[in-house]
């Protein structure tokens, strides 16, 4: 019996630190990328999840650096890290000329990108 393959879209609403949701999302994404059956179609950061895109995040030396982990995942697997521009701006994550704190590999986009991703996927998982 053949296993069905699914395309996943992951939505992250938890901050990089303070809860486990973002780290769990990261682990889930890695599992999908290392799985030959399913594919990871998109990653979208929304609400407090936009804090994952702040390049000034600086955890202690003995803590896992989640922002860098997301960046490495994006570079290694050529996956776009989409960040809701409206939610990011409300939380001070911006990409303006004199106030740019968006981390490399993250891209500010509108909710239309999320809508398109959801329409193209079989499964949507929110963390």
Q: Which of 24, 29, 84, 121 is catalytic?
A: 84
Query: Residue 18 half-sphere exposure, CB side, CA atoms within 13 Å?
Result: 9
β-pairing, 123-126 vs 7-12, is: parallel
Name the residue among 53, 40, 56, 47 with its Cα closest to residue 117.
Answer: 40
Residue 24 is among the residues annotated as catalytic for this protein? no
Burial environment of residue 75 by CB neighbours within 10 A (0 to 12, 13 to 18, 19 or more): exposed
Q: Which residues are marked as active site?
A: 84
């Amino acid at each position: 019996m053949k296993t069905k393959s699914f395309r996943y879209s992951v939505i992250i609403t938890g901050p990089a630190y303070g809860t486990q949701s973002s780290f769990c999302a990261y682990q889930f994404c890695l599992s999908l990328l290392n799985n030959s059956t399913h594919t990871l179609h998109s990653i979208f950061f929304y609400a407090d999840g936009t804090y994952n895109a702040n390049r000034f995040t600086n955890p202690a030396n003995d803590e896992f650096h989640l922002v860098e982990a997301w960046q490495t995942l994006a570079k290694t697997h050529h996956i776009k890290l989409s960040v809701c521009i409206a939610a990011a701006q409300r939380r001070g994550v911006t990409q303006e000329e004199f106030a740019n704190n968006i981390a490399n590999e993250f891209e500010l986009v509108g909710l239309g990108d999320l809508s398109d991703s959801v329409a193209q996927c079989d499964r949507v998982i929110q963390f």
